[in-house]
Amino acid sequence: MKKDLIKKTIEISDNAFCPATKFCVGAVLETADNKIYTGVNIETPSVIFALCAERNAFCTALADGQREFKRIYIYGHKENEPAYRMIPPCGFCLQVMNELCKEDFEIVLIKSETEYEVHTLNEFLPMKFASKK
Ligand code: THU
């Protein structure tokens, strides 16, 4: 868990493209070999399409050939306001993490540079669906 990545997550959340909800999310994904990939949420104005910051970061990492993931940092806030709480990943993102990561994959929920919590994927999804053994 790195302080500079917490700062980066907060900073990149302002790149979110969220005209529909005005709710900005930034995610920084760390791979097993310590590379980082960033993602923000992307919406169309009518919310016909919305992609969460977390899945955006996974897509970028996968497109770069990455397959092993260690940790993700997440920060969400209303546009032009600081976060009022920590934002957990949505169910869709948790399932993607479940299918791409191990149980001890870490999820860092950030409220500010000094207020954050580190959880594991297993804490969020103790009973999980997997099609393989
Ligand atoms: N969102 C994320 O990017 N990550 C989350 O963990 C929760 C929600 C996005 C989706 C949508 O663009 C906006 O936040 C409001 O739900």
Nearest CA to ligand 1 atom 3: 52
Q: What does the pLDDT profile of the chain (133 residues) look like in tens digits? A: 699 999 999 999 999 999 999 999 999 999 999 999 999 999 999 878 999 999 999 999 999 999 999 999 999 999 999 999 999 999 999 999 999 999 999 999 999 999 999 999 999 999 888 776 5
Site residues for ligand 1, CB cut-off 6 Å: 18, 21, 23, 25, 41, 43, 50, 52-54, 87, 89-90, 93
CA of 41 to the centre of ligand 1 (A): 6
Give the active site residues: 54
pTM of this structure = 0.96
For residues 38-61, one letter each, b for 16 or more C-beta atoms within 10 angstroms of the residue's C-beta and e for the rest, the string is: bbbbbbeeeeeeebbbbbbbbeeb
